[in-house]
Amino acid sequence: MDIRHPLDTRLPAMLRSGRPLRAIFNSLPSAAIVEMCGYAGFDFVVIDNEHGSAGHETTEHMLRAARASGIVPVVRCLRQDIARVLDMGASAVQIPMVESADEARDLVQQVRYPGVGRRGSAFSSRAAGYGAFAGAAHTQRSNEGIALIVMIETPEAVDQAAEIAAVPGVDAVFVGPNDLAHSMGFGNDWKSPAVEAAIERALRAVSNAGICAGIIALTPEDEARYGQWGARYFATVASSVITQALRHASTAGGRAKAVEGIAY
């Protein structure tokens, strides 16, 4: 009997591949939306537990939905939740507000098992198949197959971008444009020339270090511009996509087009 391992280990290779990757943040506590993201063809989904409302049990169900629908699941979480999220079977954690190489090195230690880091071992978790895939093989699979994505969101972090990206064990660096704009005093105007200059500097530094650089890209024009600066991981936001679709559907013409695509 062919049993699918609960831990999807494709992400590190995807981040090293050199090809553009398209992801979607989902802050809504819904396994169905995770499945929909998978069926829509995104490379990976970022379950947003920094700003979302999902508890740990719901997060685990969302990870199951990702595995069932074939999409790689990343969880954006706070530092204190790293161990639990990884034991649930996340393929990666994406950690906000990393400002230095020292912070990045400490995160590597939290994500990797002993031999590389200091993550606590537990083989009764979902990630280890509740003991079905315990022992050294699980430790190796996790150390090699789980990714760490760190987020740059302040001017201090932009100054340290190259050093952060150079930390062994960091698989990608994501620039958070909205928080960066706020920290620079521009509110949510991340299209301000000063903020865009900081974004460009960070993306180029990360790319030049040979690490996958990521950013929110809400339009094809955003993706083209950030791609020229070295970005390869482009993300959109599920709640925004859904809201825009609903707004479109609320118009007469939008309703007509929506109905054409529905099979009753």
Taking only the tens place, the pLDDT of each residue in 42-86 is 999 999 999 999 999 999 999 999 999 999 999 999 999 999 999
C-alpha 60, offset from chain centre: 16
When pLDDT is averaged across residues 128-156 and rounded to a whole number, the result is: 96
Q: How would you label 128-146 residue by residue, b for 16+ Cβ within 10 Å and e otherwise?
A: bbeeebbeeebbebbbebb
pLDDT digits (tens, 9 = 90+) for 178-215: 999 999 999 999 999 999 999 999 999 999 999 999 99
pLDDT digits (tens, 9 = 90+) for 227-240: 999 999 999 999 99
Residue tagged active-site, from 51, 138, 182, 248? 51
d(CA 61, CA 89): 10
Taken in order of first residue, the domains within the chain and their CATH numbers are 11-237 (3.20.20.60)
Q: Is 51 tagged catalytic?
A: yes
212-216 and 44-48: which strand pairing?
A: unpaired
Indicate if the pLDDT at residue 262 is higher than 70: no
72-76 and 231-237: which strand pairing?
A: unpaired
Eight-state DSSP code of residue 131: G
d(CA 111, CA 120): 9
- Cα three-residue angle 192-20-71, rounded to 5 degrees: 110
Eight-state DSSP code of residue 14: H
